[in-house]
Structure 1
Amino acid sequence: MLNNRKLIYRVNDIPLKFKFLIIYIICLLIPIIIINASFVSKFSKIIQDREESNYKISLERTRVDIVTIFDGCIATSHSIFSDRTLYNILDRSFTDGEQYFDIYDSQLRNRLNVYMSAYDNISNIEIYIDNPTISSGGTYYQIDEAVESTLWYKSLYSSKGSVLINTYLGYTKSLPTKRIQYLSILRKLNFYPSGDYDKRKILKVDINMQKLNNILKREKTFFNLYLLDPQNNIVCSSSPAYSYENIDSLQKYGSEAINKDNIFLETALSNSSYLKGWRLVGVSTSQSVQKSVMETLSFVLLLALLSILISSVFIFIMANSYNYRLKKLSKHMNKITDGKFDLIEIKEGEDEIGGVIRSFNRMASKINLLINDVYKLELQKKDLELERVRAEINFLQSQMDPHFLFNTLNAILVVSTKNGYTDIIDILKYLSKTLRRLLSWKDDLVTVREEISFTEMYLKIEKFRFGDKIEYSIDIDDSLMEFKLPKMSLQPLVENACKHGIQAIAGIGTVRISAGADEKELRICVEDNGTGMEEDKLAELIRNITSNEELSSNIGLRNVYRRLRLYYGGTISFKIESEKDTGTKVWFTIPCQK
């Protein structure tokens, strides 16, 4: 105990500015250095994991885009593959060239161009046939020895599948000396194998290589991507060393990823039979990860230096503030011994020293300060009285406005009754009951029967507004009517279905309310046949509802969700299911309570 007192006495002997310095070094500077040193030592692994995650996301995004192009081209080829009229023309024996060109102009010339115009991921479509009465030209060519000698022709007839995606080298028809790499969908036109359809017919759909290269080069900031066929040929790549134009042979994928400093990712392109063996490979050097680490660590160190600098300036300002005012106070207190009660003419501040200075000034001007205090107290009392009167007036006004509104509705109801406006009478009753319920919030929990009754009044008002455009049904067993649920937890869901789902469609909209229960949970469901939502819009809606931020949209759904969460905690389930142009279903489960 004695040692503790000695320590306190020694601390009391330390000047205030040195106390600030000690606090700064021990409580701020040293912890900042230790924390940042620990952070720097462990942050490299976190950044590496983050970068690898980014690589995987980039690889998957590229894979999906490429598969989408392939699937679209396959679908286009299937449309041509099943064109019976095309089969009839290609298998027909023409008497002379004039007869063929008449048919070509009327039915063949633009038959394939339509597909290329509609789907820009296809660069060219060609059909090869061994019908000698058809002249080569446009997009239709004879199967001659030159065609039979091509690698793609041999690959097609050696393949066992119905569809072959093949990469090969060939010359462009516009510039025969320019040799480029092609990626084509090949399939035999044998959809109608019986009867007269006995001639060889081949469909070749050339995929737009520039589109594929653009997709891969979009991710070049992350790593080099390689699209590989089952023979390990590079189909396209974002690597600067690769080009699909003016090449002498197909390039094989090498050993770039063997380097231990490289990050290597690989994924199968698709499970589809026609893409079996196709791969997407991503390779990135560890230098890119180290660069990200150094950039982040530099930023962290900069923040640490800024923290130290700002805290040093702040400590200096704080210490100077205390030191300056204490010297002023000490000087004026020494004047008291000479009978001088001069006021300290500085801005005191709101801290403890400021309080001491204010106390000193009050002591030096006893009477004047006393008068000022009494005067201020009287003003404060008058302000409080004025605020009380204003509160009473506002309360009376808040009571008067609903009363006036109900009287007005009742007056309209009487006039409508006298004049036989039967439709308006019911709606006015529903509206009056609705307003009364909204303004009278006695209980947080109500029965299902009461909530359904209120919601049905709202639906009847909506049906009055929109007539036969809105239909509704309520499918709730009587045994569930006495269960309790939070007030106003059903009507906002129905209002959302009417406003955002049904009003935007052209036909009749239907809202269906249903409920079910087991031993533990009560399930309430509201569904409509409205416009529905796409997956991204639905995901955004769910994020807005479950977010803690105060947003201006989806207020009704968010309020229902928050009130359910606040009342029941994590025992509730709140789900939204929606499909574009089909409708939306919103349902929640809460603990059973009577």
Structure 2
Amino acid sequence: MGFKRKNPGNQSIRRQLTFYMGFFVVLPLCLALMLLNFYLQKVTTENKINNETNLLSQIRDNADQMIEVTNYATSMLMTNKNTLKNLRTLEQDGDSYEIYQAKRELSNDISNVESSVLNAVNGKVAILTKTGYVIGSYALSRTETDYEKEQWYQEVLKNGRKTTYSTGIGEIFQEMTIYDNVQKYLYMGREILDYSGKNLGVMLIRLSETNIWGKLAASMVTEEGGALYILDRNNNILMGYNEKYQKQLKELGEQESVKEISEKEIITGNLEDDFYYIAGELENASNKLVYLVPREIFLKENRKILQHILEMVLLVIGFTVCTMLYFSRRLARPLVEVAQTLEKAPNGMAVLEEPRGSFQEMSKFVSCYNQAGKKIEELLEKVERESRLKEKAHYEMLMSQISPHFIFNTVNSIRIMAIKEGQDRAGGNENTEKALEALGDILHAVYSNKNGMTTVGQETALLKAYVDIMQMRFGSSFQYYNVIPTELFYYEIPAFTMQPIVENAILHGVKGVTAGQIIVSAIEYENDFVISVFNNGNSADKKKIEDLLKGEKNQRAVTGIGLYNVNSRLKLLYGESYGLIYNEKVRNGFEIWVRLPKKITESEER
């Protein structure tokens, strides 16, 4: 067989593909990415700013609404006649019943307000009387704080009914056992005046951080960075979410745009430390809501980027597909010519010649194929010889005959059993009939098997008949259990595979053993299954196992087929990975595994 030598001018497929893909795909893609980079940076920044601005606006609206509801609820409580009456009573110092009753009524009024109007905003209220009592929904105690000297108290008195914001109010709530953690709340104070303008006490309010920020803050402030603040007019922190960036916060307070911010206005800007900020003023207070975040974190994640990247990927995929279609057609042409030559050749074997316009790889393929053609012819001859040997092994297996010694012993045992049953008229002939039926099943299985193959179910029935005869011969010295799942009964198995193994278990395992047991089970896997034959009788050493699996066949076997023949048949039919396996881990007893492929017999398929 000969072929044309390769053209020295041919280039490898890899080299040509690299050149074309680099020139027509990679280079244009790089240029496109450079242009897209500038465009995406601009779009990313704009979309991120708009998104974060909208989130901050929603947080501001939520905070304004909570403050408005709180002001409304506390105004109702402050102007309530019963509240004013009880506060006048508490101007007297002492422990009279009237004073106690006034404190209880104020506590009940506060509890009613918290459970109704303030329940939606999770607000808490306390009244600080002129005599130093702190009255809440669950507290009636005198404060230990010298509040009259505190700055926040003076500011509350100065602002009157107008809401005053201060973190110092948290000290009063800390004294009340049900309140804690000053850093997580927004604190407010309002002076309580009667109709004549006389001071009767101070209304203290606390709003939860969780309700003010809501779930929106978590989407703005991540573990990587970012912070939210509510600042007063002097840029003091009233409440914060992930409080840090103190240096940048101080710099932010010096920004003129932040100082002059107006209601409903939201401004954005940059700080010198490469930080970005968004700020807005609360409508119901002169406080500012501020969002601070490092620029690199601010621009890290953006849905618009993902959208443009997806568009870019789709563009690259479409371009690549078109390019590859062209080159694959060009590369496949020599392969198509070779395939057409093989299709026209008898049995798919032909002497190939190198196609025109092919590559170095195709030249090498043609050379190797022609060389392999000779080897294939040699292998076909070898396979044919092995096939004849395989058929011969099948024939020997089919022609195996039942041991005359076994037939003689079985018939003699049946004769003795029949005599005993004849003497015992009441016993009947059930045992004799059972023994004859079992012997008939075995003879039928031996002589009626035409193709040498059977099913697991039929093999199981044969085993039962054989065990019945052996139990008749040796008495009930052992018990036999078959727990093979019924779903395995339709799989193919060579005839008389299991009988020699069970026979070996009886004669060399449980014979002469008290309470002997033989258990036949199976496990199913993806492509094959394993049948286990275990007996709790005599153990076998490694040398004995080698004699059984590799030695000459056991001439005392019922069918003349020993473990060696069984193992050889399985390996010949299915390959070296199948056959008999001795379980060396069993110490008390003896176990043989039979590994078989999962095949359905032809009769079952039909």
| TM-score, reference length from structure 1 | 0.42
| TM-score, reference length from structure 2 | 0.41
Larger RCO of the pair (alpha carbons < 8 Å, separation 6+): 2
Q: Which has the larger radius of gyration?
A: 2
